[in-house]
Structure 1
Amino acid sequence: MGAVLLTGACTQATGLAGVSAGSPSTSSTGTPEVTATIPAPTPEQQAAEQPPKGDDPVKVPPPKMSKYTYTFPVKGCKTTYQRKLLVLPKTTIWAGQGCSFVAPIGGVVDEVNIQNRWNPATDAGPDREGRFVTIIGDDGVRYLGGHLDSVAEGVRQGVRVKAGQLLGRVGRTGNARDTGPNLYFAISWKTGPAFWWVRRGMVKPWNYLDAWKSGNRTFSPREETLKLRGKLGETPGCAVQCASKRVPQAAKTPKPRKTKTEEQQIITLNPTIAPLRPQ
């Protein structure tokens, strides 16, 4: 009897470290139910789990394409320009009236036209660009900026200029009279003034403009220009938009014919003698 009471007392005793010695509760399936509390992570653990912040990206300059340095030919203004061949291998850079046209590379001024001679009645080829400046760059390439409102002071033939130096102001002279202000920009090679069709553009310029505008300032048209000149010759014949308009001449007014009586009344005087006086 005493042994039985001792056994019952032991079954109600508390187990080790606060764990009940009694039977764990069971679910309806008979599986013991176990609960646990997950401790919150410490600040040190949270910092270790988050990836470290990376450094700012390193800007890698574009590869150097040539020994020459170029700049976009319109400075300080918002611009748009054509990137396809329309009639001639040149482009129209649309910009505000008076925006700066600058030398795309260091070089020497070749041709300067400060007069707007274009006449829509004749549309003469040499006059279509209105006021313009051309330079022969240090790369041996000729660059033309036309339709200028004005030419910068001191810009004349033979003057040395630096890349980015002001050459003129964007305008609408020449056959741009009825359009918005723009810069006629063309790439070619040096010829005499008589071969004006070479001056107005031989090499498509937009790939080079894209590069200079985006930061690749060493992308050079020299190789393409020299290759094309070798293929066509220095002074190829004009092939597109060559002839001027013919102005119809006014019909000549016939001179009135003198009658025989009128001819008899004409007196020719010898300047060495006095006129005849009536008797």
Structure 2
Amino acid sequence: MDGTATPGTTFAAAVVPPPGDEPVRLPPPKVSRFSYVYPVKGCRTTYERRRLVLPKTTIWAGRGCAFVAPVDGVVREVNVQNKWKPSTDQGAHREGRYVTVLGEDGVLYLGGHLDTVAPGIRPGVKVKAGRLLGRVGNTGNARSTASNLYFAVSWPAPPQYWWIRRGMVDPWTFLDAWWDGNRTFSPRAAMLAVRERVGTLPACSVLCAGKAQEPKPKPTQKPEEEEPKVIVPLNVEPARSGQ
């Protein structure tokens, strides 16, 4: 056949679909009673979605970008001093300036490597999701990198257990959800599962020890000079003549 019409052949007219409305994006289902926000506000960011060494992530953002409370809660720890030194690399100081918030969901959130801590942020202060906690920087052991936010999810523990606050739960799944608009996706269940598995106060197992410092040599002391001995002659009576 050459494709030409023959007597008795009919063709159906092309079907033209009616005009439709733009698709409506439905809000995600509510999966918890808590409400969350993405922890960096007003800036373009990127972050790792895989574990490198620790269960935390680095949120790359410009210096001075706002670090905000991801959920309603209470400020737990505030460190305004950048104590980290490469010569000692003490684990408790690696996050530089940082703020932790104990959320009303029972989860502890840490934002570290801050350039500054926001005025009025101190332990015991109640905060709402979205409140400014500090500004992104590169303090601590990030001083040779671009500015970023060290973001970690864990549970409250005494300060001497610093390796808990630095991250126990992989956070990027929750960051993805909060960024995409699912504001009720909570890390609480994941936190409780990890804590049940490892215990409330697990021992440190990764990047625990700092650098040992060599003892400082004692200054060389000049030996004390001995005082010259004074020889006192014995009193000898002179010989008497005629005896």
Q: Does 1:232 align with 2:198?
A: yes
Q: Deviations over 1:158-200 (max 9, x none)?
A: 0000001100000000001000000000000000111000010
2:122 pairs with 1:122: no
- Select 1:220's aligned residue among 186, 190, 210: 186
Q: Please say if 1:174 is aligned against 2:140.
A: yes
Q: 1:261 to 1:103 in 2, by over 3 A?
A: same
Shift of 1:227: 1.5
How far the C-alpha of 1:52 sits from its partner, in A, is 2.4
Distance 1:136 1:173 in 2: 22
Distance across 1 between alignment mates of 2:191 and 2:214: 40
What TM-score, normalized to structure 2?
0.86
- The reply to whether residue 202 of structure 1 matches residue 168 of structure 2 is yes
Over alpha carbons, which structure has the higher Rg?
1
Deviation (angstroms), 1:253: 2.5
Which residue is 2:31 aligned to?
A: 65
Unaligned runs of 5+ in 2: 1-6, 8-12, 231-243
Aligned identity (percent) is 59
2:17 pairs, out of 51, 68, 76, with 51
Offset from partner CA, 1:2-23 (integer Å, 9 cap, x none): xxxxxxxxxxxxxxxxxxxxxx
2:78 aligned partner, one-letter code: V
1:99 pairs with one of 65, 88, 95: 65
Give aligned pairs, total: 218
Given the two structures, how large is their TM-score scaled by the length of structure 1? 0.75
Partner secondary structure for residue 227 of structure 2: helix
Q: What value does the CA root-mean-square deviation take over the aligned residues?
A: 1.8
* 1:159 alignment partner, one of 98, 121, 125: 125
What secondary structure does 1:61 align onto? coil
The whole-number CA distance in structure 2 between the counterparts of 1:257 and 1:91 is 58
> Structure 2: which amino acid aligns with 1:218?
T
Equivalences for residues 9-88 of structure 1 within 5 A: 50-88=16-54
Q: Which amino acid aligns with 1:246?
A: A
- For the pair 1:258 / 2:241, whether they are aligned, the reply is no
Q: Judging by fraction of residues, say which structure has more helix.
A: 1
1:223 and 1:172 map into 2 onto residues whose CA distance is 31
CA distance in structure 2 between the partners assigned to 1:151 and 1:254 by the alignment: 45
Write the letter of the residue equivalent to 2:185: F
Structure number with higher relative contact order (C-alpha < 8 Å, ≥ 6 residues apart): 2
Structure 1 position 230, deviation (Å)? 1.7
